[in-house]
Amino acid sequence: MASDDLRPVLRLKPKADARRIRFGHPWAWADDLVLDRRSRAIPAGAVAVLEDAERRPLGVGIATVGAKIGLRLLDRDPDAAIDADWLQYKLRAAFALRESLFDAPFYRLVHAEGDGLPGLIVDRFGDTLVVQPNAIWLEERLDVLVDGLCDVTGCLNVIKNGTGRARTAEGLPEEMAVVRGAAPDGPIPVPMNGATYLADVMGGQKTGLFYDQRPNHAFASKLAAGARVLDVFSHVGGFGLACLAGGAAKALAVDASQAALDLAQQGAAAGGATLDTRNGDAFTTMENLAGEGAVFDLVIADPPAFAPSKKALDKGLRAYERVARLAAPLVAEGGVLILCSCSHAADLGKFRASCLRGIGRAGRVPRLIYTGFAGPDHPVHPSLSETGYLKALAFRL
């Protein structure tokens, strides 16, 4: 890794709130920085020292002065060497937490700012790691990062998943590549909550599986014994497979991806169960099910991020309301409706209000019995709401 002894300096404007950063926030907005000719010339991804308006150091981080976030702090020590040893220290801390939480090597290993590594997502599937380097500073240090990951975990295979909006925002190209070892022969079996999921790490959504819903899957499975279950936006069977493992009498999975539904059915078969599926638009399918008079004891809707940004918030909240309105009539009297959001722009209060509007418009009377979030392998940075994006609400109707 290149030396960064002669680091450039970025300074906050006099009116910028340095206390926000001093008290824990890891980002400095570009609008809050003094951007003269010298600072504007700092290349994206460079290590830079951040100072307040009185030139007192606040820490060291990664500069991206041409973006909305002008600097992401890496270390509160302005003299910290951002080198291979520093990176491995962070990775070892992340690894130690997961090893204390889980008895099998299937989890999110690194959760970006939640683990002090902005832009980095790493999911572990046994001896295979899927890495999402969503920031230029990681792309430039990819070899060092992969070396550190393999040293810390002992994993043999590393897949680079260089896709998604975050990389586009950093001006990075989309790329899928095997950067260490070999690609798996096929989908990787992943045991969770008594079920077996199949993760397509080379061609599936994101890293191939969503670990964040693990505790919410577990809650749903407790309600599933003998139940008729509907899992909408099921991906590879998330809630449906957990409910079958929990003793559901019957489960129907709905998703727009036939490939994902095929993996869901294979996962069910691996657990000795049968999963019914419907391939198609979730909204249309829920309308069709209502027209057929279908009723379920437990209905779960876990859609994609309808509000991925503040700009999309109003439209996203209307979409969540529509999901609730269409799902509620499918729930039997005394049954449970679980509604989820992975949109960080829609906070818990706004999401809950949208759900209640939709349920009310469907003529149902709800009682909130559970509020869930992502599992502990997705640590939340206390000053950064984006790291606490997932919400799950369970209503008895």
Distances (CA, A) of 345 to 143, 349, 389: 33, 11, 8
Is 61 in contact with 71 (CB distance < 8 Å)? Answer: yes
Distance CA 240, CA 262 (A): 13
Distance CA 370, CA 232 (A): 19
Is 131 in contact with 121 (CB distance < 8 Å)? Answer: yes
Q: Which helix (H) or strand (E) is 237 found in, with range?
A: none
Please tell me which residue in 243, 340, 342, 355 is annotated as part of the active site: 342
Distance CA 393, CA 114 (A): 23
Closest CA to 166 of 64, 254, 259: 64
340 is catalytic: no
Q: Hunting for tokens 């309600």 — which residue is that?
A: 223
Q: Which helix (H) or strand (E) is 125 found in, with range?
A: strand 120-125
Is 236 in contact with 216 (CB distance < 8 Å)? Answer: no
Distance CA 116, CA 73 (A): 9
Distance CA 337, CA 342 (A): 17
* Residue length of the chain: 397
**322, 208, 142, 118 alpha-carbon torsion, rounded to 10°:** 30
Q: Which helix (H) or strand (E) is 75 found in, with range?
A: strand 69-75
Distance CA 238, CA 256 (A): 14
Enumerate the β-bridge partners of residue 191: 196
Query: What is the chain's Cα-based Rg?
Result: 23
Catalytic residues: 342
